[in-house]
Copies of this chain bind each other. A is one copy, B any other.
Amino acid sequence: MRAIADPLLVNDAKPERELTTKALAEALGTFFLALNIGMCSGDLAPFAVGGTLMIMVYAFGHISGGHFNPAVTLAVYLRGKLGDATNAAYYALAQFAGAFAGAFVSNILSDEPGYPAPAADAGALKALLAEAIYTFALCSVVLNVTTTKNQEGNSFFGLAIGATLTCSALAAAGISGGAFNPAVGTGLPLAAAADFSSVWIYWAGPLLGGAAAGAAFKLMGSE
């Protein structure tokens, strides 16, 4: 008979891990996420980007919870599964550092590295709405598949999280640029020395969506 000693919720306080190890996991995962957003373009890019989120969640979720996104970190913090706010700050710093490093490497490897940018004809309001709504979806999926007792020990958490990014990018990349993530939405334009006038959208939209997902989760009363 197999005894299962370790906690099986992907997002739980995990006091047995040091914060620096968790931060390293967050930096590595966000590195590859930003790198592959920079490296991929064309119709299949949403599959590469969502797939990269999936594999990083499966690889490093057992260490840090697998956020790679300050909006997800905000939602998990509001859910009460991250400990205190210091942890959230460390996570966000590690995510920005990882995203910038990944973006930097994509600028070395690729002649035309990509970065998220709203469509010229969409307007800031539509872009903001799209970023908020789809980050709400992403964070709602994360909270429901990695923090609820009655889905403990499932094997689908990474698939669900990665596929949310793929579907959201297929639906809305043509409007908002499809970041749904302040870290990659800042790190990639920064490394490409691109226009920064729309970067606020990747802060306001995703953080709004992440906070709303935390509130909706509480409203629905799962444990």
Binding site for B on A (CB under 8 A): 1-4, 6-8, 18, 21, 24-25, 28, 32, 35-36, 39-40, 42-45, 47-48, 51-52, 54-55, 58-60, 62-63, 105, 108-110, 126, 129-130, 133, 137, 140-141, 144-145, 148-156, 158-160, 162-164, 166-167, 170-172, 175, 216, 219-222
Contacts and interface: CB of A to CB of B under 8 A. Distances in A.
A45 B170 CA distance: 8
Contacts of A59: 140-141, 144-145, 160
Contact of A220 (B63, B133, B151): B63
B129 A171 contact: no
Contacts of A45: 170
A156 B8 CA distance: 14
A161 to B, nearest CB: 8
Contact of A171 (B36, B55, B60, B149): B36
A159 B148 CA distance: 19
A148 B167 CA distance: 29
Contact of A62 (B4, B54, B151, B159): B151
Contacts of A18: 221
| Most B Cβ at <10 Å: residue of A7, A39, A55, A126 | A55
A75 B159 CA distance: 25
B58 A160 contact: yes
Given A7-B150, A58-B156, 13 more contacts: A1-B3, A1-B4, A2-B152, A8-B150, A39-B172, A40-B170, A43-B43, A47-B47, A55-B137, A55-B141, A62-B150, A63-B222, A109-B129
